[in-house]
Amino acid sequence: MNIDFFSLSQDARTSLLNAVHALSTLGTYSEGQHRTATTPFLDTINVSLLSIQMETANWNNKLYEIIHSEIPSGYFDEESAHVLVDADAFSRSAEEMLRIQSEATFNSKDIKLATDVLSVIGQLKVAVFKLRKSIENVIKLEMRMQGAESVDEASFDAMADALTSVRKSKTPTVLH
């Protein structure tokens, strides 16, 4: 399988980083004594939000494509597993950085946030969470497929052992 299939798009990576950066600089836009957010923050976050939502839709489409393919296990190999882990780690890291930045922003006494800014921060956190869950769903599918293969191998081995023991029991035992 093409490893690019399971990697985060460059646009999504950039958007996640831009969102984290925008949130970290939220308090640098100043008006008078109290710092407030301005249009550049909202513009950056809205662009990032759109990109993250599109990436989430792409991951959901990938999952649908895999599930409805004739050979779903054909999508997964060792390389794709590594790329999936990287995509998951990147999305988890972005989610954690956003959590830390938003908590720091909310706890700052110098920053007063308008309701539209609070709303867009909440939307951003939800969008990143949904992206992470979409990636996680693909990983869970891969793990189920690996589990199914191991169960098949285990049941095959168990069947072979059972046949061997049946053959042994049918062999006449000679007592001297």
Tokens standing for 58?
A: 């792409």
Domain borders along the chain are: 3-142
Q: What is the pLDDT of residue 7?
A: 87
Q: What is the pLDDT of residue 30?
A: 47
Q: What is the pLDDT of residue 63?
A: 92
Q: What is the pLDDT of residue 13?
A: 92
The pTM assigned to this predicted structure is 0.76
Tokens standing for 106?
A: 């909310």
Query: Per residue of the chain (176 residues), what is the pLDDT tens digit?
Result: 566 788 888 999 999 999 998 888 876 554 544 455 567 888 899 999 999 999 999 999 999 999 999 988 888 888 988 999 999 999 999 999 999 988 888 887 777 777 888 899 999 999 999 999 999 999 999 998 887 655 555 555 555 565 555 555 555 555 54
Contacts of 23 (CB under 8 A, 6+ apart): 45, 98, 101, 102, 105, 121, 124
Q: What is the pLDDT of residue 168?
A: 58
Q: What is the pLDDT of residue 161?
A: 62
Q: What is the pLDDT of residue 54?
A: 96
